[in-house]
Chain A
């Protein structure tokens, strides 16, 4: 298990820390809101690092002012997708930025089997590498149980 320490996907902020508690998530949301960034909640069960298209849970919350309301939404998402990856994204709409400024995982499956590395022989003894999550061998929605 040298290549998958602690069996955890490490993507986005805080991913080498223990999972954030709700109070800690609330503080991070407060920080984002105080900067005028709007929060979105996204989920997926395909944790490939190049998978940037996570599904949105509801609309981005442009009009909410308080962390409690966003935590409510996060918890609703956790209830719907208890064993998916869920991340919170803070989007900065300032001209010139127009990009997510924060992104961190707030929910992950109980068991993350990690990634397999496959090598392919190509022309001239080149080697191409491919990684894929062991979980994604199964169809969408059945990957983590």
Chain B
């Protein structure tokens, strides 16, 4: 071919998508299946653009997604990034994220739901509509529940306004499966089901380091070891919420650190102000658990 066509790789780099994906890689630890799916979508949109330039038929793909995973696995964060990626690729025009839950969509009396849902849909146009814990929309035990009406309007918007907005449904895996099972219309309109795996211990440690760096704190050697042990124990306990639990643990550690610094007689140095030590977390109840007593 003598026509000068940019190679996909060059186009990929020029479009600014590469930067966004690289940032995704560096700022989000783990989540390999999620990242590879986002890469696939980015590639598809790019190839579609090339096909359009060549006059080939290209229909914008349906990009409604479902994010399933345990709490704290990064569903909301990824949704926010997704809006950015889709904006860079020119799939959505504005790239904003509208995050809603059931009470933003469902009304309190007859005739209240439809305008409320439509209002949200209009607000999300040109961007991404993120519905957290979407299964609460459908309450089979109450046949008069207005959630069903909201689902119907969403379905209509997902079909007719496909060019104007991307809908992302998120929630726990098993409950989302039930939700899709009882709403086949919804299941058939959601093309991408992405499962967010739980983080491994090493990944959680990396996440902790990343959070600390963002806050201008640091572990000393003893604290790093203590925190690794904390993660091991905490993971075995109920209500473990992955990255969210890590953030909470770090917040409590900062409290311990502040108390220790205040109690000291001398003026703290810069180094002391930013270094967390093992004793800052040693008071945690996690270490009192039977698992810890038996040697972890």
Binding site for B on A (CB under 8 A): 61, 63-69, 72-73
Q: What is the chain A residue whose CB lies nearest that of B122?
A: A69
- Asked if residues B123 and A68 are in contact (CB atoms below 8 Å), the reply is no
Q: Check: B257 CB closer than 8 A to any chain A CB.
A: no
Chain B residues within an 8 Å CB radius of A67: 126
Interfacial chain B residues near A69, Cβ < 8 Å? 121-123, 125-126, 164
Out of A61, A63, A68, A73, name the residue touching B164 (CB < 8 Å): A68
Interface residues in chain B, defined as those with a beta carbon under 8 Å from any beta carbon in chain A? 93-94, 96, 121-123, 125-127, 161, 163-164
Q: Is the CB of B94 within 8 A of A65?
A: yes
A65 surroundings in chain B (CB, below 8 A):
94, 96, 123, 125-127
Is there an interface contact between B127 and A68, defined as CB atoms closer than 8 Å? no
For the complex formed, measure the closest distance between the CB of A30 and the CB atoms of chain B, giving whole angstroms: 9
Q: What does DSSP make chain B's interface, helix, strand, loop or mixed?
A: loop
A68 touches B161 (CB 8 A): yes
A59: shortest Cβ distance to chain B, in Å?
A: 10
Q: What chain B residues lie within 8 Å of A66 (beta carbons)?
A: 93-94, 125-127, 164
Interchain residue pairs with CB less than 8 A apart (20): A63-B123, A64-B123, A64-B125, A65-B94, A65-B123, A65-B125, A66-B94, A66-B125, A66-B126, A66-B164, A67-B126, A68-B93, A68-B126, A68-B163, A68-B164, A69-B121, A69-B122, A69-B123, A69-B126, A69-B164
* Nearest-neighbor residue (CB-CB) of B93 within chain A: A66
Closest 7 CB pairs of A and B: A66-B126, A69-B122, A69-B125, A66-B125, A68-B164, A68-B125, A65-B94
Task: Report Cα–Cα, A63/B126, bound state, in Å.
Answer: 13
Question: Closest chain A residue to B118 by CB distance?
Answer: A72
What are the residues of chain A within 8 A of B123 when measuring CB–CB? 63-65, 69
**In the complex, which residue of chain B has the Cβ closest to the Cβ of A68?**
B164
How close is B118's CB to chain A, nearest CB, in angstroms?
Answer: 9
Q: Which residues of A contact B127 (CB under 8 A)?
A: 65-66
CA distance A141 to B126 in the complex (A): 35
Give Cα A10–Cα B265 distance, bound, in whole angstroms.
80
A65 to B164, CA, bound (A): 11
Rounded to whole Å, the gap between the CB of B80 and the closest CB of chain A is 15
Please measure, in the bound complex, the distance between the C-alpha atom of A20 and the C-alpha atom of B123, giving whole angstroms.
24
Q: CA of A63 to CA of B96 in the docked complex: distance in angstroms?
A: 12
For B161, the chain A residues whose CB sits under 8 A away are 68
CA distance A63 to B127 in the complex (A): 13
Contacts of B125 in A (CB 8 A): 64-66, 68-69, 72
15 further A-B contacts with Cβ under 8 Å, apart from A64-B125, A68-B164, are A61-B122, A64-B122, A64-B123, A65-B125, A65-B126, A66-B93, A66-B94, A66-B125, A66-B127, A68-B161, A68-B163, A69-B121, A69-B126, A69-B164, A72-B125
Cα distance A72–B153 in the bound complex, in angstroms: 14
A65 and chain B: residue at smallest CB distance = B94
Min Cβ gap B128→A in Å is 12
Q: Shortest beta-carbon distance, B169 to chain A, in Å?
A: 20
A63 to B161, CA, bound (A): 19
Taking each of A66, A67, A72, A73, which has the highest tally of chain B beta carbons within 10 Å of its own beta carbon?
Answer: A66
Q: With both chains docked as a complex, state the minimum distance between the C-beta of A38 and any C-beta of chain B, in angstroms.
A: 13
Q: How far is the CB of B161 from chain A (nearest CB, A)?
A: 7
Q: Which residues of A contact B94 (CB under 8 A)?
A: 65-66
Interchain CA distance A99-B135 in the complex, whole Å: 44
Expressed in whole angstroms, the Cα–Cα distance for A73 and B123 within the complex equals 12
Q: Would you give the shortest CB distance from B142 to chain A, in whole angstroms?
A: 31
